[in-house]
Amino acid sequence: MPLLLHGLEPIHWAVAGTAIAAITLVLLFVANRRLGISTGLEDVCSLVLDRPYFRRSAVVSGRPWRLPFLAGLVLGGFLSASLGGGWSPFWSLGMLDRALALGPLGKLAWMFAGGLFIGFGTRLANGCTSGHGIFGMSNLEPASLAATITFMTSGILTTQLLYRVILQ
């Protein structure tokens, strides 16, 4: 199946999975760090917010490696977009547009609300999908198994509800 934006063929799942596994193993064995993205938000917030929560040693001590890691994710995204034919923002939300006919402000509100739900779930689960689903599952952590099952079940049920009931 081609990618949505430019019709390019995606990287084979085995190659992508091997790359993710390699990054996870390097972080674990070389740097003794866990792969996860949500803690990076705390690092970014700690740079601008002078609150005790963001001044904890668990947050401040991760800055030297997590901030470059986050910058690499952003840079890698731009590099991938550039090499893949360019990137341009678009407002199309597919079936959601046809069903709800939201304007630009409504779409921003929709995405903002979705981001709040994701942020709440990340804090509730004490980690994000990458931390639990990739790192925690590879370490056979029971909490990560429960969190990943919850992420996947919620995503599947929400998609089915939206596309088979609400947007039909």
Query: How does residue 1 score in pLDDT terms, banded at 50, 70 and 90?
Result: low
Give the separation between CA 59 and CA 42, rounded to whole angstroms: 7
pTM exceeds 0.85 for this model:
no
Neighbours of 151 (CB within 10 A): 18
Render pLDDT for 9-28 as a digit per residue (tens, 0 to 9).
777 889 988 988 898 888 88
Looking at the predicted structure, is the pLDDT value of residue 4 above 70? no
> Average pLDDT, whole number, for the chain?
83
Render pLDDT for 55-93 as a digit per residue (tens, 0 to 9).
888 788 888 888 888 899 899 888 888 887 777 777 777
Q: Residue 98: what pLDDT?
A: 77
The answer to whether the Cα torsion of 152, 37, 77, 105 is positive or negative is positive
Render pLDDT for 78-134 as a digit per residue (tens, 0 to 9).
888 888 777 777 777 777 777 778 888 988 898 899 889 888 888 888 888 888 888
Q: What is the DSSP letter of 112?
A: H
Is 88:5 a contact under the CB 8 Å cutoff? no
Give the separation between CA 83 and CA 35, rounded to whole angstroms: 26
